[in-house]
Amino acid sequence: MKNFERVILPNGVRVILVPNAQSLATTVAVLVEAGSKYETKEINGISHFLEHMCFKGTTKRPRPIDIAGELDGLGAEYNASTGHEYTTYYAKVKNESFHQALDIVTDLYLHPTFDSGEIEKEKGVIIEEINMYEDLPQRRVNDLFFELVYGDQPAGWNIAGEKETVKKFTREDFLKYRAAHYLPQATTVVIAGGFDAAHAKRAVEAHFGMLARGEKGTKPKVVETQDRPRELVKFKESDQTHLVMGFRAFDLRDERRYALELLADILGGGMGSRLFQRVREELGAAYYVRAGADLFSDHGLIEMSAGVTHDKLRDVVGAGLEEFLRFTKEKVSEEDLDRAKRHVTGQFVLSLETSDTQGYYYGGQEVMGMPLQSPEEYVAKLQAVTAEEIQGVARNLFKNDALNLALIGPYKDASFLDILKV
């Protein structure tokens, strides 16, 4: 069942409309193909910094308080986020405030002023954000895992950048980067919720129709090189060891992603998962333990993560490797497969209750260049996965020359390569 409409404006802006008459709220989101994978080493972090600066003043709303005050006055939920491959700006409001929300989000996206004084002040904010994540090992270890797997290329760099690079950014850097990436053919506008579709189309065209095309900057293809297990151990005095361990996988367009998603759910998708039972219930070694797949336009990962007691770290790593390997040796039971399908589809359907998640579901597909798939089509693909397909994916991926372990804990000159093998 098609419950969305896709429109392409003459200048290339893609518009996704997801109307829902029962929704009490409408979400306006603009997604642009600009993220850390589009950066060079010299400007690493600029995609994220630019996102911040769009909230610091526009030609129509010159002060940060003009933007925030107006959105607060609408009772809006609003923010922005930057990832490896795209940046998102959004506001979620009650239905009758849709046009005001569209005007504000469009304004900060299309008309930021990049005031030099605000840039200098925001450098301190960005640096403190980097410091904050450094003090959150549960979050920081994920950055280390990407650094370990991909090394010194954009896929392995920190999205927020490095402090020394952030300090050097100038207004000219932002203008140049924006001119190369914030272009109509790289822009997707998503509106989801209780709005009038005909009015919305006219409003979006009025706002975005005059945006001029340009030559879009590209991102380098990810280089995959590995021939043996790798580790990255970062010393930090802590009460827990935080780890991420996993394998290289495939990209988002690979049809095996449905089997991999179910595998990840069986492995560490909830309290009934194998890792939760092994690591938390049997070993009593962790409070959080989970698994998931991170798939991108030209690469991917399947990994587990956990925060564990120091003296059981080797036991947890060993248990995790055993559970990965188990998928290669035996097919999952029909009972486990059925439970995973019900769990994943149930969580997915629940997530679509709100206008923002409905919008992101379609917008994420569009900005990544995927054919738009309805929720029903997605569920059907999951339901069609077989135990043989899951085992086939595991046998293809879970090999020593794709295995990686990153961890943060009180370890100096320590190595775990002696047990890092499948």
Q: Where in the sequence numbering do the catalytic residues fall?
A: 51
Q: CB neighbours (10 Å) of residue 179?
A: 12
The 10 Å Cβ neighbour count of residue 239 is: 10
Amino acid at 273: S
Question: What is the C-alpha to C-alpha distance for residues 307 and 329, in angstroms, rounded to an integer?
Answer: 27
**Residue 237 per-residue DSSP state:** -
Segment holding 205, helix H or strand E: helix 197-208
Beta bridge partners of 235: 409
- The residue written with tokens 């970062």 in the block is 234
Q: Show Cβ contacts of residue 91 under 8 Å, excluding neighbours closer than 6 positions.
A: 27, 28, 71, 74, 76, 77, 78, 101, 104, 105
Taking alpha carbons only, the member of 356, 360, 361 closest to residue 374 is 361
Torsion-angle region of 369 (φ positive above 0: left; ψ -120 to 50: alpha; else: beta): left
